[in-house]
Structure 1
Amino acid sequence: MPAASAAVTTPAELGGIAALGPEATTLLQRLDGIFESWGRQVDAVPMIMPPLLPVARLAALDYYRNFPHQAMVVAPLQLSGVDRSHEPSDTGFLPEALEPASLGLPSAACYGIYLHLAGQQLDAPMRVTVLGRCFRREDHYEDLRRLLGFHMREVVAIGPRDYVDDHLRQFTSRVRDFATRLDLPLQRVAATDPFYDRGGSRAVLAQLSPVKHEFVYEDLAIASTNIHRNFFGERCEITLAETGGPVFTSCVAFGLERWVSALTRRFGGWDEAHAALNAVEGITGALSGR
């Protein structure tokens, strides 16, 4: 039996679908262990979010208005009717063979958290960390750097404004320090992320005070920090007992396959990437949480 390759990517025409071999899997899991440990160090609650989310609930968050270019939806086969063979055409199942698409594939791991907390009043601010399978339709795909389906580790803060602002300051500093010690040159750049109605006052505010910053290696963002203000608190009716008002939220996100690609491109191979992480752990302690 031939040895499994490090990362097997399907032909480009299949659109960003990749299988990770043992080397890529081991490095991805190690990186996720590091980022997850950062969440544990700030008492983030570990959770697992659903792999699918209701389209109607995502629509209530303006998701399909703001991110139609990324959206992926799921529909079951239509079983009623006469002489249905339930066989796809060469390009897939046609619309008439499907029931309405009532479930969506999330493009970020944190959506499930806000929907899970909808309608609740929190006794105190909280942090949550999740590892999600995320999906984004893009105009092109490129090995592990840009995929249709990928893993995202997030650490989310939920509470008053100063709490979620401090969360981003802490993690901005942590990512910068980690990258410096790792000798991985990252640029922190302001980015656009239309959580808000593009034509409203929130959009103007987002332009004056950026809501998203990305950490970019070469030409690709591998991590980001995001402040959503009280958008999800209002839309999901999540309140804080201390104030009685909607919570503010912020998150830090790590695209794990992108980190795998960045480390192997930077250091030249799997052993070299692990050696670089070993050196960082020797300086900063057990960052992997092991």
Structure 2
Amino acid sequence: MSAPTPYTATAEEAYLDRLLAARLLLPTNLPGIYARGSAFTQLMEGLERAITRYGRTESTQILRCPPVLPRSIVEKCGYFQSFPNLLGCMCCFTGGTTEHEALLSAVDSGADLLPHLELSDVVLAPAACYYVYPYLTGTLPQAGKTTDIENWCYRHEPSLNPMRMRAFRMREFVHAGTPEQALGFRDSWIERAQAFLARLGLSATVAPADDPFFGAGERLMAAQTLKFELLIPIVSDTRPTAVMSSNYHKDHFGHLFDIRTPDGAAAHTTCIGFGMERIVLALLAQHGLQLSKWPTALREHLGLA
């Protein structure tokens, strides 16, 4: 009998080991869930400032929301139909003393706790932009409206790939307006996003995404050129990582949330999303894990001490 083939860590797992050893990320006992160390946090804060300077204007609406979202919103948007495997639902205990004793017995015995809990009216937010659309209901200004939102998000895909965290932060600029305004916003940001990343010393390529977008019964594929991703080969040239994406939803959310242009038509929406942790991971892979050795101009751009 031949000896078993020894396990060889993937490039992604090897990168995770380096990040943990440098205490840029701090481990938990769960794959894909990490605390952020001091240097990682400094980079996140610097990136936030750079995005604000680059993308926010005086007319931009600013929105910051909790990491939980009303379940009714994801149901309305069709997330259960499109990505039920990624959604993190929250369950709560609502019983009395007798039910509590049964729950404790299940905890002590290691039994399934789900029969003792009830589905909550909130879920973990799977995307930052979901919070924006209900606040846009009604008639938009003549020039449309742009919203700057940042949120903690969760997607249930446990992995030792640090580029696929289960809990992460998304920063997005969401624009609602006429079809011409939405498409103009999207197209301009595809070019601006590459320039933004280049200022960080990162070279990205643009490619149509191959995943379906949200919506009950809909699979809006890349062939329709509705979603583009900016890809960077963080640890592998053959497996580049999407660090930003640009999505054009047509009038999908305009109809769902009764968002109208001044002429009464359903608004079209689009968004540009920054994967905050992924951009930081790309920066660390490109420039090294010791921030003090980074180029002076880049450190100044990000406001690093």
Specify the TM-score bucket, using the shorter chain as the normaliser. Answer: 0.7 to 0.9
Residues 208, 223 of structure 2: 8 Å contact kept: no
The structure-2 alpha-carbon separation of the partners of 1:173 and 1:74, relative to structure 1 and needing over 3 Å to count, comes to: same
TM-score scaled by structure 2? Answer: 0.80
Structure 2 CA distance, aligned partners of 1:225 and 1:149?
21
The aligned counterpart of 1:188 is: 206
Residues 131, 154 of structure 1: 8 Å contact kept: yes
Shift of residue 36, structure 1, vs aligned partner: 2.2
TM-score scaled by structure 1? Answer: 0.84
The structure-2 alpha-carbon separation of the partners of 1:62 and 1:274, relative to structure 1 and needing over 3 Å to count, comes to: farther
Residues 182, 276 of structure 1: 8 Å contact kept: no
Shift of residue 207, structure 1, vs aligned partner: 5.0
The structure-2 alpha-carbon separation of the partners of 1:164 and 1:19, relative to structure 1 and needing over 3 Å to count, comes to: same
Shift of residue 80, structure 1, vs aligned partner: 2.7
The aligned counterpart of 1:220 is: 241
The structure-2 alpha-carbon separation of the partners of 1:138 and 1:276, relative to structure 1 and needing over 3 Å to count, comes to: farther
User: What is the identity, as a one-letter code, of the residue corresponding to 1:104?
Assistant: V
Structure 2 CA distance, aligned partners of 1:274 and 1:74?
44
The structure-2 alpha-carbon separation of the partners of 1:237 and 1:6, relative to structure 1 and needing over 3 Å to count, comes to: same
Secondary structure at the aligned position of 2:169 is classed as strand
Residues 50, 112 of structure 1: 8 Å contact kept: no
The structure-2 alpha-carbon separation of the partners of 1:66 and 1:268, relative to structure 1 and needing over 3 Å to count, comes to: same
Shift of residue 33, structure 1, vs aligned partner: 1.3
* 1:268 equivalent in alignment to 2:288: yes
Structure 2 CA distance, aligned partners of 1:8 and 1:42?
37
Shift of residue 268, structure 1, vs aligned partner: 1.1
Uncovered stretches (5+) of structure 2, i.e. residues with no partner:
1-21, 234-239
Superimposed CA distance per residue, residues 83-125 of structure 1 (whole angstroms, 9 cap, x where no aligned partner): 524544687861122122321111110000012334x222331
Aligned alpha-carbon RMSD (Å)? 2.5
Secondary structure at the aligned position of 2:189 is classed as helix
Shift of residue 78, structure 1, vs aligned partner: 2.7
User: What is the identity, as a one-letter code, of the residue corresponding to 1:215?
Assistant: L
Structure 1 CA distance, aligned partners of 2:167 and 2:111?
18
Structure 2 CA distance, aligned partners of 1:164 and 1:156?
9
Higher Rg = 2
Structure 2 CA distance, aligned partners of 1:238 and 1:180?
35
Residues 77, 97 of structure 1: 8 Å contact kept: yes
Uncovered stretches (5+) of structure 1, i.e. residues with no partner:
282-286
Secondary structure at the aligned position of 1:146 is classed as coil
Structure 2 CA distance, aligned partners of 1:177 and 1:210?
21
Match of 2:174 among 147, 153, 156: 156
Match of 2:79 among 39, 60, 63: 63
Identity among equivalent pairs (%): 26
Structure 2 CA distance, aligned partners of 1:274 and 1:152?
26
The aligned counterpart of 1:284 is: none
Secondary structure at the aligned position of 1:100 is classed as strand
Shift of residue 163, structure 1, vs aligned partner: 0.9
Shift of residue 177, structure 1, vs aligned partner: 1.4
The aligned counterpart of 2:183 is: 165
Structure 2 CA distance, aligned partners of 1:229 and 1:141?
35
* 1:79 equivalent in alignment to 2:99: no
The structure-2 alpha-carbon separation of the partners of 1:55 and 1:17, relative to structure 1 and needing over 3 Å to count, comes to: same
250-259 or 36-45, which deviates more: 36-45
Structure 1 CA distance, aligned partners of 2:159 and 2:182?
34
The aligned counterpart of 2:17 is: none
Superimposed CA distance per residue, residues 20-51 of structure 1 (whole angstroms, 9 cap, x where no aligned partner): 11100000111111112233237321111242
Residues 152, 254 of structure 1: 8 Å contact kept: yes
Secondary structure at the aligned position of 2:128 is classed as coil
Shift of residue 175, structure 1, vs aligned partner: 1.4
The aligned counterpart of 1:52 is: 68
